[in-house]
Structure 1
């Protein structure tokens, strides 16, 4: 499918892009951003009729006040069934590619309907969803994808600092930024306006008793080298999104820093970038402080509304 960059070019009176983000957003030609489509997407996002027993909506797991994720280590769906992966945050996913932790969906339009059908998540056939809502699956897909594209965050103190406000970060946070770009090597994967390379990496998370219970990206590609590799998440609003990693196994930002400081968990396919960092206690604290400074307001909808 041919894609074009459209967000700011939709209309001269379009919404202002949050500070720090790319002004243009990848939008498919057959699903341009429109107020009516976004409004329908929002209504569907909060509609529990899209689950078999009416107990779960998209917003049940993707809580707006938590950067559109939740606090559970693993996603929990209909009938309190527990999945095998953490609920991904939806902030700025409109800028992404290859969706889900393993990248099995190529577009948002492809991704948004899969949880509805998943027997552990919402467990509703799409034909039944169409009957309940009065909208065909293709219409629902476009609407939900559009709404997700409007979920954005930027304008953090980190963004203000990069824009020239040298007082936006204190000395410890500025040390964290130097470490982020240097010794700690965070920017090797967490780069660009959305602080992710949109690629898949094996850091050893989930490797226990000599194996990965979840093969990660390898379940999509079939390549042994992709075993244990998962999507790099954005670091924006990470302070609001505990617990961490694809399986929710790290409870705090401090735990995340410790994991990387140790060089991850050794396994056959561990990324070559994973090496012990030998960070001091002060350096670890500085990195945590920087991550906290990457928190900004979240907006959603068209025109955007701030999530309070």
Structure 2
């Protein structure tokens, strides 16, 4: 079903090189000023640049609350780079929320900031705004049901394609686009009928097209995400390329487990390898 795209899209956003740490790293004077009140006065442009730099440090170490504490002071900003980063951390807060209603509220709030980032972007477009608008729209649509997901699907694809056009070296965007193509290549009969009812001619794709996107992501940044290796395995398996599928499942299985998503794909790869005839006792992490 199309919902698999959104479920598998939970994947995405972890840094293999960064461990979850709640000890603040060395950051710029903007963050120091936030906590200690000692930052020197700067012009507005420099303040924005410093906040963006420090927020990225927090996000890359998955210190989401710290990043939010920094960015929330700029809720009324019109700067698209600031706004999509705020959308990103609110989205991550939503992902960690167990209550469905609160999760949806946070995702919708994040989507508003991503939408504002898009509307405030210059004519050339903003990579991060397009990427995160697509990502967050995924989560909102998933919680609103199958019809909402299908209605949003082409908008999601359009913004992902714009994101990779603006920044063709972002591996994560290529991976998410690959998931979009995989989900429609693998669309079940009932979901296909629902899509046909909405669009007349429903969105479609192939495993070959999905594979091209996953391979592009892997070429840009090898083994950056266990989910990308897992989906490479899925595509190879669907195309009858068993040896290559096994290789990618093994990479996904052996990848460091930093986040909940890593653990999820570690387990999925384990189950795939068992199904393909591997003895669980021989699989070591």
TM-score, scaled relative to structure 2? 0.28
- Where relative contact order (Cα < 8 A, 6+ residues apart) is larger, the structure is 1
TM-score, scaled relative to structure 1? 0.27
Q: Of Structure 1 and Structure 2, which has the larger fraction of its residues in helix? A: 2
Q: Of Structure 1 and Structure 2, which has the larger fraction of its residues in strand? A: 1
